[in-house]
Chains A and B, each alone.
Chain A
Amino acid sequence: MPFNPTRRHFLRSAIGAAGGCMSGLPLMGLGQDAAQKLAGVSVEDLPRLKGKLTLYLGRGEGGLYERVIDAVKKRNPDLRLSIRRGPTAALANTIVAEAKMGLVRADVFWAVDSGAIGLVAGTGKARKLPDTITSQVDERFRYDNWVPISGRIRTIPFHTGKLKAADVPKTLSEIADSDLTIGWAPAYGAFQSFVSAMRILRGDEATKKWLIATKKRAKSYAGELGAVMGVARGEVDIAFANHYYTLRLKAGDPDAKVDLAFTNNDAGCLLNASGAMTLRGGELAQNFVRYLLSREAQSFLASEAYEIPMLPSVTMPKGLPDLADIHPPKVDLAQLADLAPTLRLMRSTGVL
C-alpha cells in the first residue's frame, strides 16, 4: 500500500462523520476528551509561521483556496510563501517527475483529489505527519503521511428545465444507456479518480465499454465548473462533477437551472477528499498544514467553498442533501492512486 498504512476506509468514516453532522450531533459517540480535540484548533492558538515555504497548490477551485492562503499569509507576515499553481494532476505529475530526478521542490502539496495524493505518496517522498495533526480529524480519517482537508462527492448536476430529479438515472449504466447529453471534464483530476473508482468497482472491460458508450453523447469541458455551467445553460442535460460546483453556481445565481442528483452505490457518487502532505520543510510545513485544519479555515471551506469539513465540529455546507440519503460506493481511496491504467483506458477510448 503506497500511502494508507492503516488501510481504513476513508469512505465509511466520511459518511459516519458527515452524517453525524447533518443529524446535529457531530460528536455523538465520542468521549469528552476526544470531543474537545475534535472541536478543532483556532488560528489564535497556532504557532506563527516564519521562513521560506514552497506550496504546490492544485487549483480548479476558482480562487477559494487562495483566500484561505491569503488569510494565512496575512496572519504571518514573516512567511515567505512561494506557490506553484496548476491542475492537481499536473502538479502531482510534476512532483513525481522531480522525485524521479532525486529532487524535491515542494514543501507542502495541497491537492484537490486524493488520487493525486496517492500518486505523490507513491514516490516515498511524503513525510510522516505528527499525531498532533492527524489526530485533529476523526480517528477514522487518520493517515500516516497526509491529512484530508475537505471532502467532496461526485454528483450528477442536471438541467431543471428539461429534467426532474426523478428523471435522472440512478446508476452509471443507465446513464450510458439513456439518450441524455452529458458534460464532462476528462482532464480534471477528480474525473480521473472517478474513472479509477469505476475500474476498481467494475473492472477495466466494463469501464471501457461505459466510456465508449457515454462518449457518444458527451461534450468535453476544460473544468468541472465549465461542465456545470454547460448544464445550467442547457448545452447538455446532465454532467459529472464534484458537488460544490453546482452549489457555488447556485449561490451566485439562485435561479440557475441546475440541481443535484446522485447515482446509487456506484462510482457516480464517489466520496473523495482534498488533502495536504508535506515533502520538505519540517516543522514549518507541518504548521502550515495546521492552519488548513484550523477551525476558521474549515468553516470558510464549508461555508464559502461548499466543501465537506474534516473537523466534525464545523457545520456542513448548505444545499447538500442529508448525507445519510446518499449511498457512495465502498472504495479504498488509496487505490485511486493507481492512475496509470485509468489514463491508458481513457486514452485508448479517445476520452482523454
Chain B
Amino acid sequence: MTRWLSRYPSYLLSAVIAVLALAPIAVLYYLAKGAEVYFSEETWRILKNTLLLTATTVVGSIVIGVPLAFLTAYCKLPLQRLWVIALATPLAMPSYLGAFTFYAAFGKGGELEKLIGLTLPRMEGLAGATVVMTLYSYPFVFLTTRAALRGLDGNIVNAARTLGLSLPGSLWRVVLPRVRNGIAAGSLLVALYTLSDFGTPAIMQLDTFTRAIFVEYNAFGLDRAALFSLQLIFLVVVVLVAEFCFRSVRENSGHCLSLQPSRAGVAFSLIPVAGIVALAIGLPLLIFGIWLKREGAGDFDQIIAWNSLKVSLIAAGVAVIVALPVAYAATIGKVGRFLERIVYLGYGVPGIVMGTALVYLGLRAEAEIYKASEENPEVTQFLEKWGLEEPFLYQTLALLVIAYVLRFLPLAVGTIRATLEKIDGNMVHAARTLGAGRSEVFLRVTMPLAMRGIVAGAALVFLETMRELPATLLLRPNEYETLTTEIWLVYEAGYFGRAAIPGLLLVLFSAIGLAIMLAGERRAEKLLLHQEES
C-alpha cells in the first residue's frame, strides 16, 4: 500500500481533493434531513419552471445555433474568422448582466422606450428568462455543431447530390443526422448552464431551483435550501450523465464542404448574425453607456474592482496548483481518471448550492475552533502565533477561494490534462535515461511543457471567478464587495444607474480574458474547439 502511494503521490493528492469535492454534497444531505416536507406543491412548481426554462433554452439555442453553425462552417464568407468569434462572444459575457440590462431596457418606461419611444413588451418570467438564457448560451450549440460539421467529409454531400438530392435536401438528410451528436452535446451544455444559472431567473423573477434556494437561505430555511440544492444537483447529474453518453462519437474526417454564396446571400445571412450580436452584446453595452452618461461614474469605489481582481487571481493560482496532481494522475492510470471524474462534479454543482454548503461548513469549523480555543489556551496561542484571528474560515477570503476552486477546478484540470497528454513520452524517458529522478523530470521537463495548459487553465478559472455571483454573495468576507456583488446590490436597491461602471468593467475583463485566450492559440478555431471539450 505504502509503495503504491509513494509511486503515485498524485493519486493520494487527487483522492484528498476528490473527497473535498464531494464534501458539499454530504453537507447538504445532512442539512436537508431537517426539512419538514420533501415534496410539496411548491417543489413541483419550481421543478416545472426549472425544466420548462431548460427546455425552452435548449430549443432556442438549437434554433439559433445550428443554422449559424451551418452558415459559418460551409459558406465561404468574407472575414470568416471574425464572424465565428463574434458569434461565440456572448459566451464570454455573464448572462445575469444581460438579464439585468434587458430587464431595464424593455417594457413600459424602460430605457428603450425612453430612447426610441416605442413600447416593447416586458422581459420577465419564463419568456424573458428564455430569451436571455438563449442569447448567452446558444454558442455552446453553435460551437459543438460547427466543430462536428467541420469534421465531416464533404464528399458525402457531393455523393448525395450526384445521386439526385438537392443541396438543402442533402444537408437535411445526410449531414444533419451525422452531426446530431454534436448538437446534442452542445444542448446538454446549454441545459447544464441553464440549470445552474442564478442571476437570470432571479432578475427575471422566475422561480427556478437556484432562485428558490437563495430565497430560502435568506428566509431562514437552510434545511429547505439544502433540500432544493440536492434536488437541483440530481437534475444536474442526470444532464452530466447524458452529456457523457453523447460525447465520444467521431466521424472520419475529410475535405470540408465549401459553398460559395452569392453577394446577396452573404448580405442576407449577415442580418441574423448582426441581430444576435447586437442584442446579446450591443444592447447591454448601450444600456450601461446610457446609465454612465446619465449618472456619471458616481462614487464607484475602485477597491471593488481590485477585490474582484485579487480574489480571482488567488483562485486561479490555487486552482492550477491543485489541478496539477489531479491532471497528472488522470494521465497515468484508471484510478486517476476515476478521481478526475469525481473532481468534475464540482463544475456541475451550481454556485448557489456550493455557497449554501460552504457557509455551513465554514460556520461549523469556526465554531469548533472557537470551542477548542476556549477550552485550551494552547489552541489560542497557536492561532495567534500564526496570525489566525477570528474569522478563522467562516466569512474569510479563504473559504471564498475554496468555493471557487472546488467549482472551477475542472476547467484547470481539463486544460492541463490536455497538454500533459500531448507531451511526447520519449522526452520524459530520455530525461530518465540521463539520470533525472521522477520529481526532477516532472519539474524540469513535464512542467515547462505543460505551461501553456497551465496558463490557459488559470485564465479560465480567473474569468469564471471574476463573474461568479451566488457563491460570492453568500461567502464573501465583511466589507468585501466584488463587481458582481456590487451589481447585485445595485439591482436589489433599484439604483440601476450605478451598475454602469461595475457592469462595464466586468464586460471589459471578460473581453480581455477572451482576447488573451484567443491570442494564446495559434488559430482562433483551435480555441473554440477546445472550449467545447472543457
Q: A residues near B, CB below 8 A? A: 54, 59-63, 82-85, 87, 89-90, 93, 96-98, 101-103, 105, 187, 192, 220-223, 225-226, 228-229, 232-235, 339-340, 343, 347-348, 350, 352
- The docked-state distance in angstroms from the alpha carbon of A348 to that of B217 is 16
Contacts of B481 in A (CB 8 A): 85
17 CB < 8 A contacts A-B: A62-B495, A84-B478, A89-B219, A93-B218, A93-B219, A102-B370, A105-B395, A187-B215, A187-B219, A221-B494, A222-B202, A223-B493, A226-B494, A235-B108, A235-B122, A340-B220, A347-B42
CB <8 Å contact, B218 and A187: yes
Closest to A221 in B: B494
State the Cβ distance, A306 to closest chain B Cβ, in Å.
15
State the Cβ distance, B200 to closest chain A Cβ, in Å.
13
Return the contact of B371 from the options A102, A233, A234 (Cβ within 8 A): A102
CB <8 Å contact, A343 and B493: no
CB <8 Å contact, B205 and A220: yes
- The docked-state distance in angstroms from the alpha carbon of A155 to that of B348 is 44
Closest to A228 in B: B494
CB <8 Å contact, A84 and B495: no
- The docked-state distance in angstroms from the alpha carbon of A221 to that of B203 is 9
- The docked-state distance in angstroms from the alpha carbon of A101 to that of B363 is 7
- The docked-state distance in angstroms from the alpha carbon of A101 to that of B391 is 14
Return the contact of B363 from the options A62, A90, A98 (Cβ within 8 A): A98
- The docked-state distance in angstroms from the alpha carbon of A60 to that of B202 is 17
Return the contact of A60 from the options B122, B222, B479, B492 (Cβ within 8 A): B492
- The docked-state distance in angstroms from the alpha carbon of A54 to that of B107 is 42
- The answer to whether A82 and B218 touch (CB under 8 A), given A103-B363, A235-B107, is no
CB <8 Å contact, A87 and B492: yes
| In the complex, B367 has a CB within 8 A of chain A | yes
Which of B220, B364, B489: most chain A CB closer than 10 A?
B220
CB <8 Å contact, A101 and B366: yes
CB <8 Å contact, A60 and B493: yes
- The docked-state distance in angstroms from the alpha carbon of A348 to that of B42 is 7
- The docked-state distance in angstroms from the alpha carbon of A220 to that of B395 is 30
Closest to A349 in B: B42
Closest to B224 in A: A347
State the Cβ distance, A148 to closest chain B Cβ, in Å.
23
Which of A60, A232, A352: most chain B CB closer than 10 A?
A352
Within 8 A of A (CB), among B218-249: 218-222
CB <8 Å contact, A59 and B494: no
Chain A to chain B: the 4 pairs with minimum beta-carbon distance, closest first? A233-B109, A225-B494, A101-B367, A226-B494
Return the contact of A93 from the options B122, B220, B395 (Cβ within 8 A): B220
Return the contact of B494 from the options A229, A348, A352 (Cβ within 8 A): A229
- The docked-state distance in angstroms from the alpha carbon of A343 to that of B215 is 11
Closest to A233 in B: B109
CB <8 Å contact, B218 and A350: no
Contacts of A352 in B (CB 8 A): 215, 219
Which of B122, B202, B479: most chain A CB closer than 10 A?
B479
Q: B residues near A, CB below 8 A? A: 42, 45, 107-109, 122, 202-203, 205, 215, 217-222, 363-364, 366-367, 370-371, 390-391, 394-395, 478-479, 481, 489, 491-495
- The docked-state distance in angstroms from the alpha carbon of A101 to that of B365 is 10
Return the contact of A82 from the options B109, B363, B478 (Cβ within 8 A): B478
- The docked-state distance in angstroms from the alpha carbon of A350 to that of B495 is 27
Contacts of B371 in A (CB 8 A): 102
Return the contact of B220 from the options A60, A61, A226, A343 (Cβ within 8 A): A343
State the Cβ distance, A46 to closest chain B Cβ, in Å.
24
8 extra A-B contacts, CB within 8 A, seeds A187-B218, A222-B492, A343-B221: A59-B493, A83-B478, A87-B492, A101-B364, A105-B394, A222-B491, A235-B109, A350-B42
Which of A223, A234, A339: most chain B CB closer than 10 A?
A223
Contacts of A90 in B (CB 8 A): 217-218
Closest to A230 in B: B109
State the Cβ distance, A250 to closest chain B Cβ, in Å.
14
- The docked-state distance in angstroms from the alpha carbon of A59 to that of B205 is 21
State the Cβ distance, A341 to closest chain B Cβ, in Å.
12
Which of B219, B478, B493, B495: most chain A CB closer than 10 A?
B219
Which of B218, B222, B367: most chain A CB closer than 10 A?
B218
Contacts of B218 in A (CB 8 A): 87, 89-90, 93, 187
Which of A62, A96, A101, A102: most chain B CB closer than 10 A?
A101
Contacts of B390 in A (CB 8 A): 105
Contacts of B205 in A (CB 8 A): 220
- The docked-state distance in angstroms from the alpha carbon of A1 to that of B391 is 32
CB <8 Å contact, B493 and A84: no
Contacts of A340 in B (CB 8 A): 220
Contacts of A84 in B (CB 8 A): 395, 478-479
- The docked-state distance in angstroms from the alpha carbon of A89 to that of B219 is 7
State the Cβ distance, B63 to closest chain A Cβ, in Å.
29
State the Cβ distance, A52 to closest chain B Cβ, in Å.
10
Contacts of B45 in A (CB 8 A): 350
- The docked-state distance in angstroms from the alpha carbon of A220 to that of B205 is 7
Return the contact of B367 from the options A63, A103, A350 (Cβ within 8 A): A103
- The docked-state distance in angstroms from the alpha carbon of A222 to that of B124 is 13
Which of B109, B220, B492: most chain A CB closer than 10 A?
B492
State the Cβ distance, A211 to closest chain B Cβ, in Å.
14
CB <8 Å contact, A225 and B495: yes
Closest to A192 in B: B219
- The docked-state distance in angstroms from the alpha carbon of A54 to that of B108 is 42
CB <8 Å contact, B367 and A105: no
Contacts of B366 in A (CB 8 A): 101, 103
CB <8 Å contact, B479 and A83: yes
State the Cβ distance, B443 to closest chain A Cβ, in Å.
41
Contacts of B122 in A (CB 8 A): 235
Closest to A61 in B: B493
State the Cβ distance, A162 to closest chain B Cβ, in Å.
12
Return the contact of B489 from the options A59, A228, A229, A234 (Cβ within 8 A): A59
Contacts of A89 in B (CB 8 A): 218-220
State the Cβ distance, A95 to closest chain B Cβ, in Å.
11
- The docked-state distance in angstroms from the alpha carbon of A140 to that of B386 is 50
- The docked-state distance in angstroms from the alpha carbon of A348 to that of B122 is 28
Contacts of A83 in B (CB 8 A): 478-479
State the Cβ distance, A310 to closest chain B Cβ, in Å.
23
- The docked-state distance in angstroms from the alpha carbon of A232 to that of B481 is 30
- The docked-state distance in angstroms from the alpha carbon of A84 to that of B481 is 10
Contacts of B478 in A (CB 8 A): 54, 82-84
CB <8 Å contact, A82 and B479: yes
Closest to B203 in A: A222
Contacts of A339 in B (CB 8 A): 220
State the Cβ distance, A129 to closest chain B Cβ, in Å.
23
CB <8 Å contact, B493 and A62: yes
Contacts of B492 in A (CB 8 A): 59-60, 87, 222-223, 226
CB <8 Å contact, B493 and A225: yes
Closest to A249 in B: B494
- The docked-state distance in angstroms from the alpha carbon of A62 to that of B298 is 13
- The docked-state distance in angstroms from the alpha carbon of A59 to that of B489 is 9
Closest to B214 in A: A187
State the Cβ distance, B120 to closest chain A Cβ, in Å.
13
Return the contact of B108 from the options A59, A62, A233 (Cβ within 8 A): A233
CB <8 Å contact, A222 and B219: no
Which of B108, B363, B364, B390: most chain A CB closer than 10 A?
B363
- The docked-state distance in angstroms from the alpha carbon of A352 to that of B216 is 9
- The docked-state distance in angstroms from the alpha carbon of A109 to that of B107 is 38
State the Cβ distance, B44 to closest chain A Cβ, in Å.
11
- The answer to whether A85 and B489 touch (CB under 8 A), given A101-B366, A105-B391, A234-B109, is yes
Contacts of A98 in B (CB 8 A): 363
Closest to B485 in A: A85
State the Cβ distance, A215 to closest chain B Cβ, in Å.
13
State the Cβ distance, B399 to closest chain A Cβ, in Å.
13
- The docked-state distance in angstroms from the alpha carbon of A161 to that of B481 is 39
State the Cβ distance, B476 to closest chain A Cβ, in Å.
9
